[in-house]
Amino acid sequence: MKTIKGPAIFLAQFLDNDPPFNNLRNICQWAAALGYKGVQIPSWDVRCFDLKAAAESQDYADEVKGTVEEFGMEVTELSTHLQGQLVAVHPAYDTMFDAFAPMELHGNPKARQEWAQGQLYLAAKASRNLGIDVHATFSGALVWPFMYPWPQRPAGLVEQGFSELAKRWKPILDEFDHHGVDLCYEVHPGEDLHDGVTFERFLEATGHHNRVKLLYDPSHFVLQQLDYLAMIDHYHEFIRMFHVKDAEYNPTGKSGVYGGYQAWGDRPGRFRSPGDGQVNFKSIFSKLSQYDYDGWAVMEWECCIKSPEQGAREGAPFIQKHIIEVTEKAFDDFAGGQSDETLNKRILGV
């Protein structure tokens, strides 16, 4: 067994134009003062990171590492959640997802997709230059609008959708493989990879590509009413990243898992700050430790009630409290004896 690393923090929800959230140095100083030991960096936010420079310049990558290490922390992973989303966009979402791409690509889905794929290629190189062997992303979605089977889906639609999704990702996965980096898909509603079954569909469609891995975030499974502890049993060999994000699900007589188009604060299923929701983190940390997960526990703050600043202050000690320093001893070693084959045979009567 291995001890989980942490606490770390995903910077995406905290970056802002005002100090201390306006650049990498300032936000790292802030995070370190709260007790964090690692930062997960959003690759799209130029206030803290230049993805192209990190891919093309080892000096720049070393500069980023040096800034983070100056405050006693590590770069845990890079994220391309926004760019990964654009690898596969159903036309129904074209206008809304244009916001994730540069202005000059708006209204041009083909050019936007090519740009997104190029961003992932850069992310593979940048991760390598930073000495990181895992990377966080989204899969995008072609089939998601047909999640509920009414009207009845034509035969073969889902299979063809996942075949096309895999076709778009396989060159990217090969690039990550070339650089020795695992691509960890956050299994998330709105993506074609949103539960265990859809992850398996994608894995099969890619020919069981050895770089297809998982970012495990239990909050999304609470909202789907999926058994998030059993999911670890099923997929622990693929889990290489872990977001510590909480959620709660409180069904009413008026609304259930689909949420009634309500704002987050009014939905039966909503994200909460770590410790404020229903996720059983004690059991999650136990299971991940049992299965030798030795990656980072990264707090991702999303809450419709609590402020991000309070969430960040509480997040580091919350994670630290749950990290299990795994034992190298059996609890009953004191009562054991030395290995003796003759004695064992005598005990067995052979």
Q: Say if CB 211 and CB 135 are below 8 A apart.
A: no
Token couple for 34: 């709260």
**The dihedral formed by the CA atoms of 286, 287, 293 and 295, expressed in degrees to the nearest 10:** -60
- For 161-216, how does the pLDDT look when each residue is reduced to its tens digit (9 = 90+)? 999 999 999 999 999 999 999 999 999 999 999 999 999 999 999 999 999 999 99
Cα gap 130→263, rounded to integer Å: 39
- Pick from 170, 162, 236: which is nearest to 194 by CA? 162
Domain ranges of the chain: 5-348
In the numeric block, the tokens 């909503």 are attached to: 270
Cα maximum dimension of the chain: 81
- For 24-66, how does the pLDDT look when each residue is reduced to its tens digit (9 = 90+)? 999 999 999 999 999 999 999 999 999 999 999 999 999 999 9
Q: How many helices (H) and strands (E) does the chain have?
A: 13, 10
Intervals of the chain under pLDDT 50? none
Residue 343 pLDDT: 85
Token couple for 86: 């654009």
Which H or E element spans position 247? strand 246-249
CATH superfamily of 5-348: Divalent-metal-dependent TIM barrel enzymes (3.20.20.150)
**Full-model pTM:** 0.94
Token couple for 61: 């990558």
Give 94: exposed, middle or buried? Use CB within 10 Å, 0-12, 13-18, 19+: middle
